[in-house]
Chains A and B, each alone.
Chain A
Amino acid sequence: MLRIDQETHDAIVAHAKRDHPDEACGVVAGPEGSDRPERFVPMVNAASSPTFYELDPTDLLKLYREMDDRGEEPVVVYHSHTATEAYPSRTDIGLAMEPNAHYVLVSTREHGNSEGPVEFRSYRIVDGEVTEEEVAVVPTETPRSQD
């Protein structure tokens, strides 16, 4: 199961809507081994395409160095489908290289850039095998005020 807080969930959806009709992509990093997606990191889709996404190799290195320095890993790897359902494509399955990640798929096919619900689904993709999992969106914890 993927547990993700409301704010991060909404940020992923907003990114997908903003970049529609191109695919949007990014990660949510979290402490290594924690399975807690905590730090939302939207990335640029270097392919600028409605049917493909890829991080620019320079951005990719920077992202992984940053996570390494902070003791993080990509807990969630997300991207959008803009004309099809939120299910991993054959390309997604072939190129999924993070066995510990939750692969989140968002589909913007219904409402595009406009308001409205989107499909938000999560999968494990290991050795070419796709397993859908439940998504639990939990309230965002707000830091306690100091007074």
Chain B
Amino acid sequence: MAVEVRIPTILRTYTDGEKAVSGEGATLSEVIEHLEANHPGIKDRLIEAKDGQSDLRRFVNVYVNDEDVRFTGGLDTSVADGDQVVVLPAVAGG
């Protein structure tokens, strides 16, 4: 399954400046593993261990076809050929 992954400015150091890269996988988790294989280090910027399990970082938003994955199964969200995955760090502070 080929998907397009949109990369935010701050993570383009991992993608040679590319704004979008192609990804593969049947779930978001697989897409991220595939990303990591091609762009080592990027996974750690997206995922952290929470209670012994991997989860998206609190201040990273990921959308599959404009749906926030927090409402569609998180890392288990399924992706299909031609889907678009968007990664956006939160705009937040104190």
Residues on A facing B (Cβ under 8 Å): 25, 27, 43, 47, 51-55, 57-58, 60-61, 64, 73-74, 77, 79, 88-92, 95-100
The interface on chain B, measured as residues whose beta carbon lies within 8 A of the other chain's beta carbons, has a size of: 17
Contacts of A96 in B (CB 8 A): 93
Query: What is the CB-to-nearest-CB distance from A62 to chain B, in angstroms, rounded to a whole number?
Result: 9
Main SS of chain A's interface residues?
mixed
Residues on B facing A (Cβ under 8 Å): 8-10, 59, 61, 63, 66, 68, 70, 86, 88-94
Closest residue of A by beta carbon distance from B12? A99
Query: What is the CB-to-nearest-CB distance from B48 to chain A, in angstroms, rounded to a whole number?
Result: 14
* Cβ-neighbour of A95 out of B8, B61, B68, B92 (below 8 A): B92
* Cβ-neighbour of B90 out of A88, A90, A92, A97 (below 8 A): A97
